[in-house]
Amino acid sequence: MIGLYIEERLFLFILVGLLFTMGVVFGTLSAQNLEYGQKTELLQYIQFFFQGMKQETEPVTDAVLAGDAIFNHLKTVFFFILLGISVIGVPLILFLLFAKGYILGFTIGFILQQLAGKGFLFTVTSVFPHYVLIIPALMIAGVANIDLAGALLKSRFGRVNRPVSADLLQGLGISGLAMVLLTVSGLIEGFVSPMFIYWVAKLF
């Protein structure tokens, strides 16, 4: 059933994937083209962060961080749902996916450029664990609500093969699946990633 859903909406998944990837690429390029003063300021912040982590005697897991991450992720999906239902909000869904990719690309690009091998280790251990769930979850939610907008648009012109309520429930159900993945990613970000960051910080 999942395979059929993806197959029927393959174009949307490709479109969303391309936009997110473009965001990552542009974010990486932006990180490389920062002015010297901006690079120095950001690098000092990162070094200050690592110095603070070195002074910790044990990993600092944070329920507040996990809660904030989960809240922000779920807020994004709720926003996707509202934009999908509005129909005209589809371009904004695409823009937000691009922006998420841009932020990720900028972060990883800057860390890799400034910290080289250590930056790669830091990225793999501190960013990858939760983003491995965030990326597919956002793509799924994006596709589900773009598809919902398309179904609602067709219903307004009377070109539907099934009740709109079925499309709405399907969109909400898939968005709910994305929320579950994002909740897990938030827990990883608050309780697992800090342990990896703590160990990696000892190398700096």
CA–CA distance, 85 with 51 (Å, rounded to integer):
47
pLDDT at 60: 66
- Looking at residues 111-136, what average pLDDT do you find? 87
Q: How far is CA 91 from CA 19, 94, 136, in A?
A: 11, 5, 19
pLDDT higher than 90, residue 23: yes
Domain carrying residue 22 = 2-201
36-49 pLDDT, tens per residue?
Answer: 888 888 888 887 87
pLDDT higher than 70, residue 54: no
Structural domain total, the chain: 1
160-186 pLDDT, tens per residue?
Answer: 666 777 888 999 999 999 999 999 999
